[in-house]
Amino acid sequence: MVSSAHPVFTPAALGPITLRNRTIKSATFEGMTPAGLVSDRLIEFHRRFAAGGVGMTTVSYCSVSSEGRTYRDQIWMRSEAVAGLRRLTDAVHTEGAAAAVQLGHAGWFADPRASGERTIGPSRMFSPYGLTFPRAMTPADFDRLTGDYRRAAQLAIEAGFDALEVHVGHGYLLSQFLSPFTNRRSDEWGGSVENRARFPRQALRAVRDGAGSGAAVYAKLNMSDGFRGGLEPEEGVEVARLIESDGSVDALELTGGFTARSPMYLMRGDVPLAEMIETQPNLLRRLGLRFFGKKLMRAYPFEEAFFLPQARAVREAVDLPLILLGGITRLETMDTAMDEGFEFVAMARALLREPDLVAKMQAGTTSESLCIPCNKCMTEMDRDGTRCVFAADAV
């Protein structure tokens, strides 16, 4: 009865896999991986979303190589991490949900103190995150990193993941190539949109090769960077078309924003600057937030489904399955997404507030999340792990 009224609760194919419904817990940095390995808390974190009814939950920010980390304790894909990741996927599968892993590389804003290695990026320019000048990637770097993406995909399959999400958004390495703000190259890797998309497309093909035919592969793709001089919406549509033409992915998860320039563009709502200053472990960054935080952390008003207007343009341009995210808190919004031709919806903050939100919606006991866009959850990653500050039973 509920499923027929709300198609979001019906099973759906994502490439070669089938999800029990069309809801996805999107990737949010968890801060629960000491020594870059899976902890019991991380397993329980994702198990609760699975038990709470989502079709799939996503483990966030697993770097494809040591140098691509933003934090020392961030997971990077290596053989030592596989056993813990397998425990996590087993726990999620036991609850009836699928498990995805987000693969990425921080590139320009990786922290060299995390790995002891110099950071790299599309072009040489100062990074306010690494507080250094990353070097521009060389032909050898392109070859090596392409291999890293392929190897990371192979390890993810070994760990039992059903789907691999490649991060092509938020100012991470592949997004840096798309953005004219960070990609100032004049060779075949820069300039036109097609050239700027060359390495992201190459990395996606490498992940597809590594994943084989049994797992889903999809890209978390920026539609725009959210500031003048960055990736523009019409360019994002063109990138989506190019990726579709490669046949390398089974879907696109549509997002926007650039961590180093427009961090709140991808969150929307309140800016918890005081908490961000308090929990920032790096002294220089803490001072930077204190003196420049109000300018850097520009506020964007929260709107339900705030990425939907841009996502409609992508929907018109490609036939690939699309995952809509960005401020989805109501069942009515999910219905709208299905009506407008989006195959899946992804949520983060709403599920941090209520891990069992999907089950409650499906049972008809609620139609709207209790989440308010205070964004204090994102400050908790540097305190003791990402959580909703209003959820008494948070992991």
Confidence of residue 363 (pLDDT cuts 50, 70, 90): very high
Q: What local confidence, expressed as pLDDT, does residue 1 receive?
A: 40
| Average of per-residue pLDDT across 210-236 | 97
Give the pTM.
0.94
Task: Locate 327 and state its tokens.
Answer: 């401020």
pLDDT digits (tens, 9 = 90+) for 335-362: 999 999 999 999 999 999 999 999 999 9
pLDDT average, residue stretch 201-214: 98
> What is the mean predicted confidence (pLDDT) over 88-96?
98
Q: Please give the structure tokens belonging to residue 86.
A: 């397998």
Least confident of 1-5, 159-163, 244-248: 1-5
- Supply the pLDDT for residue 380: 82
Residues facing 166 on adjacent strands:
103, 219
Token digits of residue 125: 């320019």
**Minimum mean pLDDT among 46-55, 229-238, 265-274: which range?**
265-274
Q: What is the CATH number of domain 2-382?
A: 3.20.20.70
Q: Does the pLDDT of residue 118 top 90, yes or no?
A: no
Average pLDDT score, the chain: 92
pLDDT tens across 292-327, in order?
666 677 888 899 999 999 999 999 999 999 999 999
| 267, pLDDT greater than 80 | yes
In the chain, the amino acid numbered 303 is E
| Percent with pLDDT over 90 in the chain | 76
Instruction: Specify the pLDDT at position 392.
Output: 65
Residue 136 has a pLDDT of: 97
Catalytic residue list:
172
pLDDT of 139 > 70? The answer is: yes
Q: How far, in Å, CA of 170 to CA of 335, rounded? A: 27
Instruction: Report yes or no: 76 and 35 within 8 Å, Cβ to Cβ.
Output: no
Q: Would the pLDDT of 393 be above 70?
A: no
Q: What is the pLDDT of residue 97?
A: 98
Is residue 280's pLDDT more than 80? Answer: no
Tell me what pLDDT residue 291 has: 65
pLDDT at position 182 over 50 = yes
3-state secondary structure 99-149: EEEEEECCHHHCCHHHHCCCCEECCCCCECCCCECCEECCHHHHHHHHHHH
Domain boundaries in the chain?
2-382
Structure tokens at 36: 């870059």
Question: Phi/psi of residue 136, each to 5°?
Answer: -70, 140
